[in-house]
Structure 1
Amino acid sequence: MYVEWGARLVGAVVWTHSPTGGGPGRVLPDGCMDLLWHDGRLLVAGPDTRAHVTQGAQGPWAGVRFYPGTAPALLGVPAAELRDRRVALTDLWPAARARRLTARVNAAPDPATGLEEAALSQAADSGPPDPLPARIVAALEAGRPVSATADALGVGARTLHRRSLAAFGYGPKTLARVLRLQRALALARDGTPLAETAALTGYADQAHLTREVRDLTGLPPGELLRG
C-alpha cells in the first residue's frame, strides 16, 4: 500500500509504501529525487530518465520526494551524478555524517517523520534555494519550448543545459518530456480520453503520446493506466 502527503518542506512530499506482493514495481520518471529509508538504511534515488523497475524488496519503505531541482543543494550532490541510480547515503557523504543522520531517522517515532525532520534540517543548513530551477520547471510545465525558456530566463542555451544537468540530472529537453508525461498521465487517470489528453498536453496526436509513454515507462498507456 502506498500513501503520500505534503511535507512541511515547500514542494516536497512524504510517502510510505508497504509492498503487498513479491512482484516487481515500476517507479515512473517525474524529475524528482528522493531520500529513502528501508530496513534501517538511508538511500538516495536519483532522477530517472526511464521507469525504474523495483525487484519487490520486502518490508516497508518511507521517503521524501523533493520538488524537481531542489535535492542537489540539500544533499550536496549534483543530480547528474545520480541519474538512474539508487545509492546508499554512506556512499555520498562522509561515513560519520551519514551514520548520524541514519541514527536520527531510526530514532524518530517512525521513519517518515524522521525523514521529514532530516529534510527540514538540511534545508535550514543549505540556505535560500536557487530560484532558477523552479523557473525552468515553471516554463517547461507551461509548454514553453526549450529555446524560448532560455530566452525568457535570460540565459544562453549552454548555460540552461549545464544548470539543468546539475539541478535535474538531465538536459531541459529530457526534463520537458518527463514533465509532459506526468501531465498527460494525470489527465488520463482522471478519465480524459487519450486523444484529448494528447491534444491538451502538446503531443502531435494519440500515436505520439503512445510512443512517448512506452519509451519513458516501458508500457503502453492502456496497460500502464490499468496498473
Structure 2
Amino acid sequence: MTYSERPAARPGVVLWQSRPVDAQSSLILPDGCLDLLWDGATLQVAGPDTVARLHAPGRPAGFTALRFAAATGPCALGVSAADVVDQLVPLRDIWGDVRTARLEEQVAAGGAPALEQWLRSAPEPSDPLGARVFGLARTGLPVGEIADHVGFSARQLQRRSQELFGYGAGHLVRVLRLQKALASARSGQPLSMVAADAGYYDQPHFSREIRALTGRTPTDLLR
C-alpha cells in the first residue's frame, strides 16, 4: 500500500493516510497507540493492539486517520483504552449517533483538514501521567522503576496503564522496544547490534520477543 504521515495539529498525534495498491494483506504492528479512522464512509476507533494482526484488503479503499500516542487518545475521544484494546469500534458506539454523524459529515466534506479541525478543539489530558509513563517505557525501564518514578505502586500503575494504553506498563515496554528495534533494523543496522541497542538481553531474547509479538522471525518480519 501507499502510506504517508505527518505531525498533526497537536503534540503526540500523527495524521496518516493509506491506499492499497494490490490485493495483499498488510501486517499491523502493535505501537501503544489508539487511532481514529475515516474509511470514506464511517469513523471508527482502532484500539491499541497487543500483538500484530493482518489487515485484509477490500472495502474500504483506504484510510485517513489520526494516531494518538502517549495516551492522548482516550482523553480526546472520551474512552478508556481498556474498553477498545484489540478492537475496531464504530465511533457511534462511543459518542452516540448525533455527535458522530456531525463529525462524519464534516470529514466527508473536508477530509484530513476537517479531522485536524476537530482535533484542535478535542479535550487534552490534564494529567501528565500518560506522557510520563509512555516516555519512561520508551527507555526500557522495568515496571517497578517506572512505578517509583511516577509515585505509584506496581498495582496502581497496572490499572492506570490499562486505562491509558489498553495494557499494563510491562507490555507497553515490550511493544515500544519492538518499535525501536525495527526502526534500527530498517536503517540497515545488523540484527546482532539491533538486539543489544534496543535493550534485549541477547539475540535469542530478541528473536523470542519478535515472534511472541508478531508471529514471525526478525528476518521474516523485515522481509
Paired position in structure 1 for 2:108: 106
SS at structure 1 position matched to 2:89? strand
Contact 2:72 2:124 in 1 (8 A): no
Residues 124-166 of structure 1, C-alpha deviations (whole Å, 9 max, x = no match)? xx24532001111111111211101111111111111111010
1:156 corresponds to which of 137, 153, 156: 153
Task: Give structure 1 regions of 4+ aligned residues with deviation exceeding 6 angstroms.
Answer: none
1:202 aligns with 2:199: yes
Is the Cα–Cα contact under 8 Å of residues 105 and 118 in structure 1 kept in the other structure? no
Distance in 2 (alpha carbons) for counterparts of 1:177 and 1:204:
13
Structure 1: gaps (5+ residues) = none
What code does the residue aligned with 2:95 have?
Answer: W
Give the C-alpha shift of residue 39 in structure 1: 2.4
Identity of aligned residues (%): 46
SS at match of 1:92: helix
Aligned residue for 1:94? Answer: 96
- Inter-partner Cα distance in structure 1 for 2:124 and 2:121: 10
Question: Who is 1:81 aligned against?
Answer: 83
Distance (whole Å) between structure 1 residues aligned to residue 180 and residue 207 of structure 2: 14
CA distance in 2, matches of 1:98, 1:43: 10
Count of residue correspondences:
221
Task: Give the match for residue 73 of structure 2.
Answer: 71
Structural mapping, 1:1-227, within 5 Å: 1-58=2-59, 59-108=61-110, 111-122=111-122, 126-226=123-223
Q: Deviations over 1:164-220 (max 9, x none)?
A: 010000011110100100011111111111111111111111121111111111221
CA change 1:127–1:37 in 2 (3 A) is closer
RMSD in angstroms over aligned alpha carbons? 1.2
In structure 2, C-alpha distance between the alignment counterparts of 1:127 and 1:67, rounded to whole Å: 12
Judged with a 3 Å threshold, the aligned counterparts in structure 2 of structure 1 residues 2 and 82 are, in CA distance, closer, same or farther, namely same
TM-score (norm 2): 0.95
Structure 2, unmatched stretches of 5+, are none
CA contact (8 A) 2:70 2:135 kept: no
